[in-house]
A and B are shown apart, each in its own frame.
Chain A
Amino acid sequence: MNEYIREVEKNLRLPRRKRREVLRDLCEIFESAREHGEREADVAERLGSPAAYAAAVSVPLRGKKRSGWALPSALLALAAACFAVFLAAQTSRPPENVIGQADVMTQIRVAGGMDPMPLLLAAGALAAAGAAVLFALRLRRGRKEKS
Chain B
Amino acid sequence: MEPRYVQQFKKGSLEMILLCLIGRGETYGYAILEELNRRSAVLGWAKEGTVYPILYRLQGAGLIQCRLAPAAANGGAKKLYALTEQGRETLRELLRFWDAYSACVEGFISAYREKEESE
A interface residues with partner B (beta carbon < 8 Å): 24-25, 27-29, 31-36, 46-48, 52-53, 56-57, 59-61, 63
Contact = CB atoms under 8 A, between A and B. Distances in A.
A32 B28 CA distance: 10
Interface stretch (B70-78, B96-104, B106-114): B70-78
A60 B15 CA distance: 13
A30 to B, nearest CB: 9
Interface of B: 28-30, 47-50, 52-54, 56-57, 60, 71, 73-74, 76-79
Contact of B53 (A29, A46, A59): A59
B53 A60 contact: yes
B49 A31 contact: no
Contacts of A61: 56, 60
Given A57-B56, A60-B57, A34 B49 contact: no
Nearest to A36: B30
Contacts of B60: 60-61, 63
Given A28-B79, A46-B49, 20 more contacts: A24-B79, A25-B29, A27-B76, A28-B30, A28-B76, A29-B52, A31-B76, A32-B28, A32-B29, A46-B47, A46-B48, A47-B48, A56-B52, A57-B53, A60-B53, A60-B56, A60-B60, A61-B56, A61-B60, A63-B60
